[in-house]
Amino acid sequence: MTETIALARRRGHTSILLMTYDHVPWNKPYYERLGFATIPTDQIGPTVQGDLDKQRRYLPMPEHRIAMRLAL
Task: Note the pLDDT tens digit of each residue in 7-32.
Answer: 999 999 999 999 999 999 999 999 99
How many domains does the chain fold into?
1
Tell me the pLDDT band of 54, cut-offs 50, 70 and 90.
very high
Under 8 Å between Cβ of 71 and 8: no
pLDDT at 31: 97
Residue 15 · residue 67 · CB < 8 Å: no
Q: Which domain holds residue 31?
A: 2-71
pLDDT at 62: 95
